[in-house]
Amino acid sequence: MDYRAGRSAMVFYACTDPTETLRRFVVGRGARQIERAVSAGARWIRFAEAAHPQDELDRLLKGFVERFGSLPISNAGTARRATTPAGGEPA
């Protein structure tokens, strides 16, 4: 995918709730998000365990914005609201 400051194969980042299994996320609340990511070009899912999933997701999104100048294409809706303060610049 082409982003403002380069290219990346990454189109979507997500996290489970601390007590939610990956399987439950994929077939449940994450199914629609994953479907949209596939429509945007995603072909692989990579996952890793984290002690604090939301904190890790925030870190990954911040790093992506710093490197590529915008959020991953499939995070541009919901994640932008969560990571962008009123001034419009990412946290």
Q: Residue 26 — pLDDT band, cuts 50, 70, 90?
A: very high
Beta-carbon contacts of 62 under 8 Å, excluding residues fewer than 6 positions away, are 83, 90, 91
- Closest by CA to 74, choosing from 47, 28, 34, is 34
For residues 18 and 37, what is the distance between their CA atoms, to the nearest angstrom? Answer: 22
Q: Residue 78 — pLDDT band, cuts 50, 70, 90?
A: low
Q: Residue 30 — pLDDT band, cuts 50, 70, 90?
A: very high
| pLDDT tens sequence across 42-74 | 888 878 888 899 999 999 999 999 999 889 988
Q: Where are the alpha helices (DSSP H) in 1-91?
A: 22-27, 31-39, 53-68, 78-83
- Closest by CA to 1, choosing from 76, 53, 51, is 76
The chain-wide mean pLDDT, for the chain, equals: 82
For residues 45 and 84, what is the distance between their CA atoms, to the nearest angstrom? Answer: 25
Q: What is the reported pTM?
A: 0.72
State yes or no: pLDDT of 32 exceeds 80: yes
